[in-house]
């Protein structure tokens, strides 16, 4: 079951509840009146971001979805440390059992970080209803029934080599906001992060990533500066391949000194935190889950290295006569291990390294509240470690967590401005009303979603288009913007791509610069519309081009409109 705030653009979905809805518990006297109250809330929820992690102080309408189908609605409000549920309406055609309902309510409470789940009832329960509530841990109070929410927190750090610096930024945000974890699991570079979490802390983790290069990880001279061009990157990759073949895997000897410098194993030994990491036995290729603190302390470094031994590029790690390689071959994001240890509130950080994501094979438990962080931005090459790129990735991780949990908006960028939702909606409505193009929003959603790479709907369409303008202009995602600052930066034309690029990033840059049909080249050509002095000729050109490239034309006109409204 999935849950999120209902959007104002979804009010038509309430029609089915008027015909087939029912109150699963005696929250209200009249279904008609209750649905009217929910309608009022939904119409007010003009949210660009409908995640339950976004703090909201007002009363809320939250949708319960079975896959993509809305099957239930609850009206609730957060008051201090309580989530007070004022009504639950389900479709009679839904297959929501008591267990599914209470599990979903508990998961919502855990996601919204409250200590108590309260059911505010209008009438006495039937014996069967009272029995069900007691069965699921509710106790009667003066306003209805209440259940204490016990959360066991965990971090799950995924594998991905040099991209793992992104996880440090997410960790930084959560540490600033008081989130700690009793359980930490990790694979490959995620195992290294798990060890750092318990032995070094955030300060040492940041120091490590902002100081190390590939030479601190692998016994390998990458040769000329890989920052210069795609050619130098290709030469480095080829040299790495040749070295790994000649030596049956590149030695990881330098990492011992790196770990000795940044890890405090005395601190880890005194901690009660559970640290579990994943490696794979070779050649059987069986997953091995390692309870690090149950291993002899002299082996801790060996197991951390084993989890990240990306064979055959890197040498396999021998421990007590057996060989071990990168855990990503079997479980690159070990959410299942955290759940098996009792975690029910998980911050999972997937840096999208190669390997198997077991969550696609084994679904997490319904009761577990999982906040998944997976950057929309490419995070660089996996085996090329660079302090500047690491610093950028740390900032990306921090800002993406900030957007998720604070009143900042954006999928690609971080926009911080009071009443931004209302301002963008007002500007968009004026734009649609005055545009020379006839803009049909319903036909735009799929087109925009394809390039935006995230869900697009009526409320966030203006923001999605704004962010696409930012991407086309190569705006930096490493800072916070007001709306005015963002629009101003669109005309600066300064490339802010990372200094150290992966092969994918080099290829994309060359494509955008030199291929005639690239997005950037097409945008440059369309902007010639700006230079047409005749209003009639300009309108004709816009209409003609708009028929061939509707989205590109709308983006050009949206940018021009925003610049005129904000600066003139």
CA distance 358 to 290: 17
* Domain coverage including residue 80: 2-147
Same domain, 74 and 121: yes
557 belongs to a structural domain: yes
CA distance 337 to 132: 30
CA distance 335 to 339: 6
φ, ψ for residue 43 (rounded to 5)? -65, -25
Q: Confirm whether pTM is higher than 0.75.
A: yes
CA distance 417 to 214: 40
Same domain, 197 and 304: yes
According to the model, what pLDDT value does residue 527 have?
A: 67
Same domain, 313 and 348: yes
CA distance 420 to 422: 5
DSSP string, 244-292: HHHTTSB--THHHHHHHHH--HHHHHH---EEEEEEEEETTTEEEEEEG
Same domain, 97 and 77: yes
Parallel/antiparallel/unpaired status of strands 414-415 and 480-481: parallel
Helical residues (DSSP H) of 13-56, grouped into ranges: 14-20, 31-44
According to the model, what pLDDT value does residue 223 have?
A: 58
According to the model, what pLDDT value does residue 491 have?
A: 78
User: What is the C-alpha radius of gyration for the chain, rounded to an integer number of angstroms?
Assistant: 27
Same domain, 38 and 183: no
* Tally of domains within the chain: 3
Write a three-state SS string for 222-238: CCCCCCCCHHHHHHHHH
544 CB neighbour count, 10 Å cutoff: 10
Report which DSSP code applies to 40: H
The CATH number of the domain holding residue 196 is: 3.40.1090.10
According to the model, what pLDDT value does residue 243 have?
A: 57
524 belongs to a structural domain: yes
φ, ψ for residue 456 (rounded to 5)? -125, 135
71 CB neighbour count, 10 Å cutoff: 19
Q: Are 179 and 245 in contact (CB under 8 A)?
A: no
Of 188, 244, 375, 502, which one is the catalytic site residue? Answer: 188
Nearest to 565 by CA among 475, 478, 466: 466
Mean pLDDT per 10-residue segment, the chain (568 residues) = 92 92 89 94 89 88 92 94 95 90 94 94 88 92 90 96 95 94 96 91 90 70 56 58 58 78 91 96 96 95 93 89 95 96 96 88 86 93 85 96 92 94 94 88 91 94 96 92 94 61 65 64 67 71 74 89 82
Same domain, 341 and 420: no
Report which DSSP code applies to 375: -
Same domain, 329 and 447: no
The CATH number of the domain holding residue 44 is: 3.40.630.30
Nearest to 44 by CA among 31, 53, 56: 56
215 belongs to a structural domain: yes
According to the model, what pLDDT value does residue 325 have?
A: 94
- Cα angle 33, 35, 36 (rounded to 5 degrees) comes to 60
Same domain, 143 and 161: no
**Number of H helices and number of E strands within the chain?**
21, 18
407 belongs to a structural domain: no
Same domain, 109 and 222: no
Q: Are 334 and 346 in contact (CB under 8 A)?
A: no
| For residue 312, cis peptide bond before it (omega within 30 degrees of 0) | yes
According to the model, what pLDDT value does residue 471 have?
A: 92
Helical residues (DSSP H) of 272-375, grouped into ranges: 300-307, 335-340
Residue after which a domain boundary falls, among 147, 165, 189: 147
According to the model, what pLDDT value does residue 200 have?
A: 79
CA distance 395 to 399: 6
According to the model, what pLDDT value does residue 436 have?
A: 85
Same domain, 344 and 226: yes
406 belongs to a structural domain: no
Length of the chain (residues): 568
Q: Are 383 and 310 in contact (CB under 8 A)?
A: yes
Q: What is the largest CA-CA distance in the chain?
A: 81
Same domain, 323 and 175: yes
Active site (annotated) includes residue 326: yes
CA distance 393 to 399: 10
402 belongs to a structural domain: no
Residue after which a domain boundary falls, among 118, 147, 176: 147
Q: Name 66's bridge partners.
A: 69
Parallel/antiparallel/unpaired status of strands 274-282 and 286-291: antiparallel
Same domain, 389 and 427: no
458 belongs to a structural domain: yes
Of 49, 198, 326, 392, which one is the catalytic site residue? Answer: 326
- Cα angle 375, 379, 385 (rounded to 5 degrees) comes to 145
164 belongs to a structural domain: yes
According to the model, what pLDDT value does residue 552 have?
A: 86
Residue after which a domain boundary falls, among 128, 147, 166: 147
According to the model, what pLDDT value does residue 540 have?
A: 74
According to the model, what pLDDT value does residue 387 have?
A: 87
For residue 545, give the H/E element and its range. helix 535-548
CA distance 381 to 383: 6
In the three-class reduction of DSSP (H, G, I as helix; E, B as strand; rest coil), residue 325 is classed as strand
According to the model, what pLDDT value does residue 221 have?
A: 62
CA distance 149 to 159: 31
Q: Which residues contact 330 (CB under 8 A, 6 or more apart)?
A: 278, 280, 285, 286, 287, 355, 356, 358
């Amino acid at each position: 079951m999935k849950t999120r705030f209902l959007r104002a653009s979804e009010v038509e979905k309430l029609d089915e509840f008027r015909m087939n809805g029912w109150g699963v518990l005696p929250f209200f006297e009249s279904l008609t009146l209750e649905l009217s109250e929910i309608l009022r809330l939904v119409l007010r929820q003009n949210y660009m971001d409908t995640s339950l992690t976004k703090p909201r102080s007002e009363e809320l309408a939250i949708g319960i979805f079975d896959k993509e189908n809305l099957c239930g609605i609850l009206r609730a409000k957060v008051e201090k440390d309580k989530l007070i549920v004022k009504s639950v309406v389900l479709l009679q055609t839904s297959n929501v059992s008591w267990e599914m309902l209470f599990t979903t309510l508990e998961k919502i409470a855990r996601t919204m970080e409250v200590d108590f789940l309260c059911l505010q009832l209008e009438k006495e329960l039937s014996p069967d209803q009272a029995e069900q509530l007691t069965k699921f841990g509710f106790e009667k109070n003066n306003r209805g029934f209440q259940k204490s929410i016990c959360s066991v927190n965990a971090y799950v750090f995924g594998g991905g080599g040099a991209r793992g610096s992104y996880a440090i930024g997410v960790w930084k945000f959560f540490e600033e906001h008081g989130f700690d974890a009793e359980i930490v699991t990790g694979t490959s570079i995620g195992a290294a992060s798990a060890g750092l979490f318990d032995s070094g802390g955030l300060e040492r983790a940041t120091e490590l990533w902002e100081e190390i290069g590939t030479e601190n990880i692998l016994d390998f001279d990458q040769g000329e500066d890989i920052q210069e061009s795609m050619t130098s990157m290709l030469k480095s990759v080829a040299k790495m391949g040749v070295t790994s073949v000649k030596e049956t895997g590149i030695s990881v000897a330098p990492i011992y000194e790196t770990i000795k410098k940044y890890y405090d194993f005395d601190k880890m030994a005194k901690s009660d935190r559970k640290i579990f990491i994943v490696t794979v036995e070779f050649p059987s290729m069986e997953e091995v889950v390692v309870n690090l603190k149950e291993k002899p302390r002299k082996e801790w470094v060996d197991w951390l290295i084993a989890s990240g031994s990306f064979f055959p590029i890197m040498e396999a790690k021998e421990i007590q006569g057996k060989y071990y390689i990168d855990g990503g071959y079997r479980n690159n994001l070990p959410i299942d291990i955290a759940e098996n240890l009792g975690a029910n509130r998980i911050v999972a950080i997937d840096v999208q390294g190669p390997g198997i994501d077991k969550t696609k094979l084994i679904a997490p438990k319904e009761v577990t509240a999982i906040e998944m962080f997976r950057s929309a931005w490419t995070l660089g090459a996996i085996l090329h470690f660079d302090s500047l790129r690491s610093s950028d990735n740390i900032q990306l991780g921090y800002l993406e967590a900030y957007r998720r949990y604070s009143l900042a908006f954006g999928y690609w960028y971080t926009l911080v401005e009071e009443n931004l939702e209302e301002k963008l909606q007002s500007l968009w409505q004026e734009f649609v009303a005055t545009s020379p193009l006839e803009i049909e929003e319903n036909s735009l959603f799929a087109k925009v979603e394809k390039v935006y790479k995230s869900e697009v709907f009526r409320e966030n369409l203006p923001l999605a288009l704004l962010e696409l303008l930012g991407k086309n202009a190569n705006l930096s995602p490493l800072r916070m913007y007001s709306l005015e600052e963002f629009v101003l930066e669109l005309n600066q034309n300064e490339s802010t791509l990372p200094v150290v690029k992966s092969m994918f990033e080099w290829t994309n840059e060359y494509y955008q610069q030199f291929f005639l049909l690239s997005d950037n080249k097409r945008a440059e050509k369309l902007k010639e519309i700006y230079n047409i002095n005749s209003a009639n000729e300009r309108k004709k050109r816009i209409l003609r081009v708009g028929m061939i490239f509707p989205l590109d034309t709308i983006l050009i006109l949206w940018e021009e409109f925003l610049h005129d409204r904000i600066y003139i």
